[in-house]
Structure 1
Amino acid sequence: MRRWMAWTIGVALVVAAWGVLQITPSQDDAEAPFPLAAEIGETASARGFVMNVTDVRLASRAVAGGWSAEGTWLVVDLRAEATQEETGTILAHAELTIDGVTYRASERPASLLRTGLTPGIPREGSLAFELPSELARDTATLELGIGDDPRLDSLVTLNLDLGTLEAEGEVELLETGWAER
């Protein structure tokens, strides 16, 4: 074999290996959740649950029953129900991502977080996210799901423009309960 041909084949193989490396998904990509985009007021059906975010409010004080707290609060009102299983379907994943930083729904107020969902009987309530005040005007992505570990599962996602929300002085979280049909 001629020397120039060996070099050409060698370079071609290195380029092909680089190309394979570029198109091979990473471990994170291989285990990524399946996002289902939704809008406020729109029902989204995911694996095991149905979700409808009915309202998003921004306030400097959040109130839930006898609990209250000052700060910058994003309150998300929603309805959710299970679609497959009677037990074990829990709203466990509620995260808000702003500028690459993720905030989990607060566990301090009584809310829909970690509430069991039942097929055919929707639950309604709120989730509360405590945010730094300087982020209250950015865009955010809300992710909602039924598993603590969302890998290889479906998530309902909403893109929110927090800058369009009018800040209220006080917002009361909806009482968690059975929704009316």
Structure 2
Amino acid sequence: MRRAAAWIVGVGCVVAAGAVAAATPGPDAVEGPFLIRGVVGEAVTARNLVVTVEDAAFTGRLTSKDWTVGGNWLVVDLSAAAITTEVDAGLQLITLLVGGREFIASEQPPTSLVGERLRLGVDTIGAVAFELPADVDGGHAELRLTDRYSTPYLDDVIVVPLDLDDVAHEDEIEIDRPELEGMP
């Protein structure tokens, strides 16, 4: 009888250890970012950012003043502002997740909103562009924006889903220099 009790206690300990291991959060859950979800056309507020994704379009030719490039580009129009401070306020890391792949917003267009300094309470209006492989022209995607230079730990990340099947295709898109809302 004692032997059976020892086996039952042993099996119970193994089951309890498995339950504890399964319930323990992984490193992403402990140190990962806080995802603040929103939708296209509505303002999404994070710790020091408020961002509104306005529109998106695919193009085969991307231009800005004195600059042109071909390829498969996704251009996202948005507006952003700082909430609490202008110190280090900017969209430093903007990524697009498509089908398990992650793409970083290009710094090639000289008029991109990437890294643009944001003002407190005044929207900066502009665009970001993603150079994508030729096979990425539809599906579901997530646009992720943060004011950190690298993937933030224990900080907010704004997430806006995009249905790439509904995105317009244009022959050419010109990215204008970012401008402050209401300013000429």
Deviation at 1:166, TM superposition (A): 2.5
Counterpart of 1:168?
170
Query: Does the Cα contact within 8 Å between 1:87 and 1:118 map onto a contact in 2?
Result: no
> Partners in 2 of 1:60 and 1:17 — Cα distance?
55
Query: Does the Cα contact within 8 Å between 1:77 and 1:174 map onto a contact in 2?
Result: no
Structure 1, unmatched stretches of 5+, are none
Q: TM-score, normalised by structure 1?
A: 0.95
Deviation at 1:37, TM superposition (A): 1.3
> Partners in 1 of 2:107 and 2:172 — Cα distance?
19
Deviation at 1:104, TM superposition (A): 0.2
Q: TM-score, normalised by structure 2?
A: 0.94
> Partners in 1 of 2:19 and 2:44 — Cα distance?
37
- Give the letter for the 1:73 counterpart: W
Structure 2, unmatched stretches of 5+, are none
Counterpart of 1:64?
64
- RMSD of aligned residue pairs (Cα, Å): 1.3
Counterpart of 2:124?
123
Deviation at 1:55, TM superposition (A): 1.1
Deviation at 1:33, TM superposition (A): 0.9
SS at match of 2:149: coil
> Partners in 2 of 1:169 and 1:60 — Cα distance?
6
Say if 2:69 is the partner of 1:48: no
Deviation at 1:86, TM superposition (A): 2.3
> Partners in 2 of 1:148 and 1:27 — Cα distance?
20
The alignment covers a number of residue pairs equal to 181
Question: 1:21-170 alignment to 2 at 5 Å?
Answer: 21-109=21-109, 110-149=111-150, 150-170=152-172
